[in-house]
Structure 1
């Protein structure tokens, strides 16, 4: 709103009901949102982190300490807080782990920036200093990283990722399964984790989880007369329906004689019969169809001794193709013996009261299934998230072949290097670089707090230990500083690289905002997610 000269006439620029926050108010409000969000997930960090119980509008419960899951499940309204949720999502997509670390570093960067803004340092200078610090941090990270990609290192990386996520008692067997799965799908040094399917079922202990050299599909045979198990399976993959097609255009068939009607029905039956004969002639004894299978076709397939499964997901069809070597056929007329895939065993098994199809004993499959078990639904869901994170970090390590010591060792090393770097910079950016260094120390500090240790004492001990070795981190189980590389607490370099980079960029972007204009929308009351009066974040939950 503005006034023209001395006439006192108002000019409306923004519609009525629009919320606007300017300058320091906007900055303080956004910083507060970031800090509150970081505090929310902070208690979940590390092996002794706590869990959150999230209840949605329908009463469904999620119990987890996985940062990105917590942030996705929370109903977050605040625009600046949503930007930090994006940091966690990017971290999850790129690496698979380190989501909580990324968010708490971003929150701490905003907290430190607030102190600098109170000293009348311009936000642009803080953002510039943060950018310089982030670049330098990546250089230091390259220096302190260790080259390693042997199986033992991959196992340690997997176990580190799963510690504190409800999988402790079965860490070692699960790590073995995960490393074997990642190694199996590796092609030309590249690993696509989408080719590792995680199938979960409750009703058994974690130790009963298994790696299937093939694909597990949550479906059943279409006809009870079909064989339940087939040895030496010849597998056909079809992405068209086995049924009489409707005509493409509107058509009318006039039948004037009952005999014609019978001939018409017989002709339809013969078309179905020909389709089944085609599958049988190709030599297939197992059929996976992406679409429907007609009731009559089911009968003929059962008579021919062919096990058939219908309405299989497209993603599962692709995995079956990679696992068995079968080609996906669109037109049933084109099906030949060369299109078939092979599996040592295809069987329908009952798991927790539900039928599932196990395609096993495939020869050098490029798609495998981790069959995860747990005692209850909530337990198996959390184990699945832990396994998913571990797959991501093992794949990152196998690709980059570089790791860093865990337990806060990497963050302390980078912070130490940044403090030395800050002394070489003239101008106010020096303060921003030093603040960035202090912000990174939030990781070991939080690990100590979550383990019930004194965070200040732990930090002082860590700094002193780093004068001798860059691998010294905080062992939260023993409550002491020790060489984390020797202790087997190892993380991929990519986790740290991505977390620092995305946290720094998100903090920079939030700091450069000096005006928040929130439209009320058509006929709605303006909702700033608790932004009025800088009220913080309660409406997030």
Structure 2
């Protein structure tokens, strides 16, 4: 009995099992390798698309690594970590998710071979860190400078991220649109560094028309319509009021009952309510505003008075859109309508309502020095529009990353070959068994050019030898 007291007793839920030691390592590595093998065929300009069908029968066709791993139903803990690698890459850069997953799988595959040789996992990890530091140093050395003025180079960077996708045939046009958007919202800090907030670039997609009908609007597009039929549908040289409050009579915080003994008293109450609402409208009109964008509701009576004053009004605009509108038009969002002044108004050359694919949309365009822009994404089918949106997301991410970092490297597997070469050269200076891990890291990098060659129908070994 005393001998059993030191033994831990594990109670696992039904269907669960426990692995440890070498078996656990093999299981984790196998899961990561399976993820990498599945997504590897999508890499490169000749990579294949994946068709995914969810439980509801909805179909997604893409070769975007982030979308593929996001749609997968993953249960294995190690595979979930690989998914997190892809998501982190997508959040930080916007592209390169497939490369990140493939490299993760190959690094673990090489580590498995070292484990089979009896090398401890701690030594492998240490060797990988040494190789990683060499790779980072090499990237800094071989990186070429790029600035906002190098539009031709930025277009090539953006187009590269879209190569092999469904929107690939229109990548030159889409890359030009993406670069223009990034340049527009880029801001230079006091230290001279460029920062790009991609939240200031709105992607609004509408099925119909051609991919090349995708356009960049120097302003904001809102998926709303004018609230009253009597209002103008088009306003030039717009002066825009951005209101966070509601055009309605405020309700009291306490319940109260009023006894009315005369019909005239009821009319007096109604007249007072009407006067309050008219006062709110007058507060807007007196500032010279001819466009009103309201985050909350606008009652029927204020709609009537606004229409009578020739003001174009839109209600229930999303908070995120309101913030973009403030950055695009230079206006200020006002909570108390009566506090609105002409200095709070934003400006735009044109505000108009257009019918796009059967839906009314509000275009606020021609904003001077707009620090928030919109891209209206078009495509023949729903699947095409979704893929174009994903392609633009990748292009915007890589162009923004290039501008912020100020450097870029060549693609096509060239940088991986150079890194592998430099890491092998540095391996001689690493003593002990870590040297084997450093060399394994270099070999793992070659999976990228090897995959590109295989996708193109070339012999992988012959291609690597030539490189």
TM-score of Structure 1 vs Structure 2, range by shorter chain:
over 0.9
Report how far residue 389 of structure 1 moved. Answer: 0.7
1:155-180 residue CA offsets vs partner (Å, 9 max, x unmatched): 11111111111222222222221111
- Name the SS of the counterpart of 2:174 in structure 1: helix
Correspondences of 1:206-355 after superposition (within 5 Å)? 206-355=211-360
1:83-106 residue CA offsets vs partner (Å, 9 max, x unmatched): 111111111111111011011000
Counterparts of 1:142 and 1:9, CA distance in 2? 54
Q: Which TM-score applies when normalising by structure 1?
A: 0.82
Q: What RMSD over aligned residues (CA atoms) do the two structures have, in Å?
A: 1.6
Whether 1:12 aligns to 2:9 is yes
- Name the SS of the counterpart of 2:285 in structure 1: helix
Counterparts of 1:116 and 1:85, CA distance in 2? 24
Q: Which TM-score applies when normalising by structure 2?
A: 0.95
1:382 to 384, 387, 396: 387
Match of 1:504 in 2: none
Match of 1:154 in 2: 154
Correspondences of 1:108-507 after superposition (within 5 Å)? 108-149=106-147, 150-188=150-188, 189-462=194-467
Asked if the contact 1:96/1:389 (under 8 Å) is kept, the reply is: yes
Match of 1:57 in 2: 55
Distance 1:203 1:4, change over 3 A: farther
Q: What runs of 5+ residues in structure 2 fail to find an aligned partner?
A: 189-193
Match of 2:191 in 1: none
Report how far residue 252 of structure 1 moved. Answer: 3.4
1:333-377 residue CA offsets vs partner (Å, 9 max, x unmatched): 100111101111100000111100011111111111112211111
1:482-511 residue CA offsets vs partner (Å, 9 max, x unmatched): xxxxxxxxxxxxxxxxxxxxxxxxxxxxxx
Asked if the contact 1:154/1:394 (under 8 Å) is kept, the reply is: yes
Asked if the contact 1:232/1:345 (under 8 Å) is kept, the reply is: yes
Distance 1:318 1:437, change over 3 A: same
Report how far residue 8 of structure 1 moved. Answer: 9.5
Report how far residue 251 of structure 1 moved. Answer: 3.5
Q: What runs of 5+ residues in structure 1 fail to find an aligned partner?
A: 463-541
Counterparts of 2:157 and 2:36, CA distance in 1? 25
Distance 1:256 1:57, change over 3 A: farther
Counterparts of 1:396 and 1:440, CA distance in 2? 22
Asked if the contact 1:33/1:80 (under 8 Å) is kept, the reply is: yes
Asked if the contact 1:4/1:11 (under 8 Å) is kept, the reply is: no
Counterparts of 2:111 and 2:27, CA distance in 1? 13
1:4-38 residue CA offsets vs partner (Å, 9 max, x unmatched): 42x79986344554532110111111111100111
Q: Aligned residues, how many?
A: 459
Higher relative CO (CA 8 A, sep ≥ 6), structure 1 or 2?
1
Counterparts of 2:417 and 2:23, CA distance in 1? 33
